[in-house]
Structure 1
């Protein structure tokens, strides 16, 4: 087995073209007995990577750092306590950083075996976006037949899968998108109605389309005013699930971040208690840290739904490692609908 490998190190904050450097570094060797070593076929990009690059991600390791939350590839070594995987398995896996490399390690519970024929870009989408969607819909909430469900970024990586899972539960899905084109995508995935956030007030449109009904469940990746207004429109027994803050704008600009933080509002538990409502925050890193068995459940469950044909994954795009900066920029500027992956 190789003793050294190439990895893309984050060496500075700012523009993607200057932030990364490909370096030789030792292949991971001193890992826990319940971990596996994966020869990486391709790794995925996530918006948290962009946030780390621009210097606003508190969980990011100190520089120089190897980012990366998800990889796909072949298991080439297993720890002595590993029972779920064998050498030669092709897997998709979540990593606690370290994914931007030719080899990566992860807990055996964070990996799921996939077939040789599975498309690697779509598998990487299942690992992070799919697992997040499954956790939001199936583990943190319960959706009932006829529930009115509002989804931000309904044509995005996570939102597109949430839309399908909610529809499969019998919900009436209202998808928020940023364009008519994205609205058509959301409709094709199961949204009954779509709301263009750039041409109309989201919550006024929801009130009109739902005939004044309140929101039974809202899944939000935008944060800020969407939280404040969404909670005001939440039905008794309603649930608000928050898993991002994409509406912050330029996270490097403190003059934008302060009002963004304030736009969430401040809340007492009393109204939630009186109306039997729930506000649920989702951070998959914390799930992985404290409930690794849930990570395996989420990835394996969404993979099973994909193989059964119950959900579709947006096409995404593959970049070469030499195009890492372009891939980061494409993610930051929302130029690709679906998962962005990078291959060695």
Structure 2
């Protein structure tokens, strides 16, 4: 390991004391980890909040083997130390990274291939809002869903961090986006990001809205984090040869579904989780992002939508904000 400045022995982290509500998130002191082969140690300046953090806090989404037990799947800061074999990064480089865990801390380890340079002009808090949503959207919408220029994407939960990212990237790359959201304010936010139509699901049936907006064609790709009764309705809203990509089940993972629509429309219904995937798999996504999306970020054609920023010590408030459902875009912890 090489580093230019002495590192502290201890760091402040926010840990999950026991499964439960937001108040189980408590600051504590731990030893600063040391980077191993191919790893970098990030002096974390900001960390993103994501729904998997909430599930982990509740005891429903354990960290994968070998990962930190601390929550936090994305972090931005400076490289504080590098392990043997690290080729790309040097101490002092500004990076944002997708982590397998450990972001709620002053220092965090990540494999060098799962880190990317902070786009020019972005603050640490903005940069920390990028990795989890952009990796997720790129893999699920463009790799699994194979969204093409000119096609229509339906995004459920359009005002979420995932949703706001999907709307922007798909629009910037030449697709039409229809989004669903649950309030006038959230619908307006989706429209401002480029969605050609936004469906307030309290007032309108998204299946009929999609058919109307596409002149009966349907959505070529559907990104769904809702599940439950949306599963069968997504099949109805999908175009011939449509692709539905499942990334969460906020309304439940069980549903009664007429699978004949899959046959009649030649549908593909797939899904994925990102956190357990290998370092090499995430590295391939990072390479694609740097080639295709980082130029859009650098030009500010896309950018994370920022909701609220909380200090690390008040991570519990950030979790309360996410769970009350009022947020639009990303919630971030200021660690500096």
Distance 2:150 2:80 in 1: 47
Distance 2:287 2:228 in 1: 30
Larger helix proportion, structure 1 or 2? 1
Partner of 1:251: none
Displacement of 1:120 in angstroms is 2.0
Distance 2:279 2:303 in 1: 28
- Alignment partner of 2:254: what SS? helix
Q: TM-score, normalised by structure 2?
A: 0.89
Distance 1:142 1:305, change over 3 A: same
- Alignment partner of 1:263: what SS? coil
Distance 1:288 1:316 in 2: 30
Contact 1:223 1:264 in 2 (8 A): no
Q: 1:121 aligns with which of 111, 125, 129?
A: 125
Contact 2:219 2:238 in 1 (8 A): yes
Distance 1:183 1:237, change over 3 A: same
- Alignment partner of 2:189: what SS? helix
Matched, 1:282 2:272: yes
Name the count of aligned residue pairs. 327
CA RMSD, Structure 1 to Structure 2 (Å) = 2.4
Question: Which 5+ residue runs of structure 1 have no aligned equivalent?
Answer: 249-259
Distance 1:192 1:115 in 2: 28
Displacement of 1:225 in angstroms is 1.7
Distance 1:36 1:191, change over 3 A: same
Distance 1:289 1:110 in 2: 7
Distance 1:75 1:264, change over 3 A: farther
Partner of 2:3: none
Q: TM-score, normalised by structure 1?
A: 0.87
Matched, 1:336 2:327: yes
Partner of 2:4: none
CA-to-partner distance for each residue in 1:100-153, whole Å, 9 max, x for gaps?
111110100111122674222221221111221122233223333432321111
- Alignment partner of 1:261: what SS? coil
Written as runs of structure 1 = structure 2, the 5 A alignment for 1:1-344 is: 1-17=7-23, 19-29=24-34, 31-59=35-63, 65-114=69-118, 117-246=121-250, 248=251, 260-263=252-255, 265=257, 272=262, 275-289=265-279, 291-300=281-290, 301-344=292-335
Which 4+ residue blocks in structure 1 deviate beyond 6 angstroms?
none
Distance 2:132 2:190 in 1: 20
Distance 1:290 1:242 in 2: 22
CA-to-partner distance for each residue in 1:290-333, whole Å, 9 max, x for gaps?
51322322553433321122213212221112322111100111
